[in-house]
């Protein structure tokens, strides 16, 4: 009982074979037990293939789990630009919009969008130039990212269900416009666990300026077990409660842990084999490891000056440098095998369009600020992932909640919300390089060719990670819930 470390003691008492052999014994396993029992019932029910349930070890809920089928990507990075990036000022070149600048948009008489009436068609203030081997035209707003056009796989025909930020961010991150559904990162860590032993499976990296509009909904676990929620931290702000109490000497920490270990071990002796109790002991072990591993992964001091410069981490502007440091953190997490990283660019606390991409009134003035914050660091991140070979088995998704109008708002110099057509792009494992899929109409108003939905995007992302979006389910309030609700099909055309 006076063993110096909790670990061997805990390990002996845990008896892993029992966990695996009898998930139902533990209290945490109780839910699992009836879920499994229900499978037969479901299979008989509606003719669909039955759900494929991850076998989750209570003592190691993040243990790597097999995919449904061989995966193209082992991990995912989502760069989420909050506030709705204008596709017609970035990725979606519309020569007709330039040509008919100042004219009313045909068929849009009396059109009322989110903030009201529309003015005329308005060309982008940024020039579009051919980039890379593919000659893809991308605007000057994001010149460094534009140079990587040959790595990108554009989906120009994305559509969203809502034209207001809250529900739309919810949909992009959770599949549902309503509150309370699990985020895509939570689904993925539920399905696959992680390859990083001492780190969370799903890390959300908030922008240096704050959190996006719907904040933690973007990385919530919803009705999935809380263990699968995203852990939010960035290069400047560690996870809450990670650090030991200030002033507490290491010896006191160790002695307190030891005494706790003794109490918990004796308690477990009274409930031998109880997996929930075992899992608690294991969770303290993981917590102790995270107290070392998270500061280590967040410590950028070992990065070379060159790397710091490439990302722009030495920029005198604290926001640019802050986002650059977050990009380096993202790479370091992916390098260590974290399954899902969601990197946010833009925050809402500062007001409409000030700290994010919501350019209603003064688009150029605001985008001139936001463009460089995103551009240099994100481009460096993509290059760095490629240089280190990580792009081979990491899928990158750049996205935003919806697009913006090709017109300016009446009486303003910016664009209103537009969920009818916008652009996202992917890069890396499993997707075509230098490829464009789908298209909006002549002005960029509405997706007209190979129209895709967020459900399709999620189905595709899961597919790349080796998961069948129709079979990755969790029973909640009477339904087998999915990330893709009852919709979605894999966008086969963009798969490499």
Partner 1 sequence: MRTHRYGSQPAPLLPLALAAVGLLAPRARAADFAGGVRPILAAKCFRCHGPEVQKGRLRLDVKARALRGGLSGPAIVPGRSDESLAYRYVAGLDPDVRMPPSGGPLPAADVAALKAWIDEGAPWPEGLDPPDAAEAPVPWSFEPIRRPAPPEVRSCGWPRGPIDRFVLARLEPAGLDPSPEADRAIWIRRLTLDLHGLLPTPEEVAELLRDDSPDACERLVDRLLASPRHGERWARHWLDVVRFAETHGFEMNQPRESAWPYRDYVICALNEDRPYDRFVQEQLAGDLVGEDAATGFIVGGAWDQVKSPDPGLTAEQRMNELHDMASTTGTAFLGLTVGCARCHHHKFDPVSQRDYYGLQAVFAGVEHGEREVSVPDGAEREARGRALGALEAELARLRADLWKLEPQASLDASSAPSRPPVSPLGNTDRFAAIEARLVRFTVLKTSSLEPCLDELEVFTASDPPRNAALASAGAKARSSSDFPGSPLHKLEHLNDGLYGNGRSWISAEPGRGWVEVELLEPVAIDRVLWARDREGKYQDRLALEYRIEVAREPGAWKVVATSADRLLPGANAAPAPGPASGPAARARELELEVARLRARPKAYAGRFVQPGPTHRLHRGEPAQVREAVAPGAIAALGEPLGLRADAPEGERRMALARWIAHPRNPLAARVISNRLWQHHLGEGIVATPDDFGSNGAPPSNPEFLDWLASELVARGWSLKALHREVVLSSAYRQSSAPRPEAVAVDASSRLLWRFPPRRVEAELIRDCMLQASGALDLRMGGPGFSAFEPNDNYVRVYEPKRAFGPADWRRMVYMTKVRMQQDGTFGAFDCPDAGQACPRRTRSTTALQSLSLFNSAFVLEQARLLAARLEREAGAETRGQVRRAFALLLQRAPDPVEEAAAADLVAAHGLEALCRALFNSSELLFVS
- Taking the complex as a whole, the smallest distance from the CB of residue 218 to partner 1 amounts, in Å, to 10
Task: Give yes or no for residue 189 binding partner 1 (CB under 8 A).
Answer: no
Longest dimension (CA), the chain: 82
d(CA 228, CA 223): 10
d(CA 469, CA 472): 5
Contact with partner 1 (CB under 8 A) among 11, 273, 412, 450: 273
CA nearest 332: which of 287, 301, 360?
301
What residues between 54 and 93 interact with partner 1 by CB under 8 A? 58, 61
Q: For residues 84 and 403, is the Cβ–Cβ distance under 8 A?
A: yes
Q: Binding residues for partner 1, how many (CB under 8 A)?
A: 98
- Beta carbon nearer to partner 1, 91 or 202: 202
CA nearest 404: which of 85, 80, 83?
85
Residues in the chain, total = 496
- Beta carbon nearer to partner 1, 42 or 236: 42
- Taking the complex as a whole, the smallest distance from the CB of residue 191 to partner 1 amounts, in Å, to 16
Exposed (0-12), middle (13-18) or buried (19+): which is 4, by Cβ within 10 Å?
Answer: exposed
- Taking the complex as a whole, the smallest distance from the CB of residue 29 to partner 1 amounts, in Å, to 7
d(CA 478, CA 495): 34
- Beta carbon nearer to partner 1, 61 or 434: 61
Q: For residues 394 and 333, is the Cβ–Cβ distance under 8 A?
A: no
Contact letters for partner 1, residues 385-424 (x by CB under 8 A): ----------------------------------------
- Dihedral, CA of residue 211, residue 215, residue 219 and residue 220, to nearest 10: 150
Contact with partner 1 (CB under 8 A) among 141, 192, 227, 462: 227
d(CA 296, CA 142): 32
- Beta carbon nearer to partner 1, 50 or 273: 273
- Taking the complex as a whole, the smallest distance from the CB of residue 417 to partner 1 amounts, in Å, to 9
Contact with partner 1 (CB under 8 A) among 20, 43, 55, 243: 243
Contact with partner 1 (CB under 8 A) among 475, 489, 493, 495: 475
- Beta carbon nearer to partner 1, 125 or 244: 244
What residues between 291 and 330 interact with partner 1 by CB under 8 A? 291
Contact with partner 1 (CB under 8 A) among 10, 51, 167, 406: 167
d(CA 371, CA 353): 12
């Amino acid at each position: 009982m006076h063993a110096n470390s909790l670990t061997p003691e805990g390990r002996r008492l845990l008896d892993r074979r029992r966990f695996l052999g009898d998930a139902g014994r533990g209290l945490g396993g109780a839910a699992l037990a009836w879920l499994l029992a229900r499978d037969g019932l479901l299979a008989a029910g509606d003719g669909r293939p039955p759900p494929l349930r991850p076998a989750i070890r209570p003592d190691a809920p993040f243990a790597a789990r097999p995919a449904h089928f061989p995966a193209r990507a082992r991990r995912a990075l989502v760069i989420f630009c909050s506030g709705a990036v204008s596709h017609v000022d970035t990725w979606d070149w519309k020569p007709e919009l330039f040509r008919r600048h100042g004219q009313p948009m045909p068929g849009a008489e009396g059109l009322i969008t989110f903030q009201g009436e529309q003015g005329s068609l308005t060309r982008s203030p940024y020039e579009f130039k051919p980039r890379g081997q593919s000659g893809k035209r991308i605007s000057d707003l994001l010149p460094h990212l534009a140079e990587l056009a040959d790595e990108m796989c554009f989906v120009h025909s994305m559509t969203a269900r809502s034209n207001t930020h809250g529900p739309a961010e919810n949909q992009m991150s959770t599949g549902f416009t309503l509150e309370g559904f699990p985020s895509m990162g939570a689904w993925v860590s539920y399905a696959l666990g992680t390859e990083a032993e001492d780190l969370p499976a799903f890390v959300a990296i908030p922008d240096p300026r704050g959190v996006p509009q719907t904040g933690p909904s973007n990385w919530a676990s919803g009705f999935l077990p809380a263990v699968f929620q995203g852990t939010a931290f960035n290069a400047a702000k560690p996870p809450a409660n990670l650090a030991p109490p200030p002033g507490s000497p290491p010896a006191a920490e160790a002695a307190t842990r030891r005494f706790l270990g003794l109490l918990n071990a004796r308690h477990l002796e009274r409930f031998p084999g109880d997996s929930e109790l075992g899992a608690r002991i294991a969770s303290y072990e993981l917590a102790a490891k995270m107290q070392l591993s998270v500061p280590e992964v967040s410590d950028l001091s070992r990065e070379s000056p060159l790397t710091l410069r490439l990302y722009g981490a030495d920029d005198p502007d604290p926001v640019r440098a802050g986002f650059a440091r977050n990009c380096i953190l993202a790479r370091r997490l992916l390098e260590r095998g974290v399954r899902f990283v969601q990197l946010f660019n833009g925050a809402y606390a500062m007001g409409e369009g000030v700290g994010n991409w919501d350019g209603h009134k003064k688009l150029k003035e605001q985008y001139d600020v936001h463009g460089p914050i995103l551009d240099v660091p994100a481009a460096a991140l993509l290059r760095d992932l490629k240089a280190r070979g990580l792009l081979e088995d990491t899928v990158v998704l750049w996205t935003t909640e919806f697009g913006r109008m090709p017109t300016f708002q009446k009486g303003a110099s910016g664009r209103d919300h537009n969920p009818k057509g916008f652009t996202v792009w992917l890069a890396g494992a499993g997707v075509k390089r230098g490829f464009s899929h789908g298209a909006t109409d002549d002005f960029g108003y509405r997706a007209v060719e190979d129209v895709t939905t967020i459900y399709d995007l999620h189905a595709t992302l899961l597919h790349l990670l080796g998961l069948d979006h129709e079979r990755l389910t969790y029973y909640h309030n009477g339904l087998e819930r999915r990330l893709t609700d009852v919709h979605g099909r894999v966008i086969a055309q963009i798969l490499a």
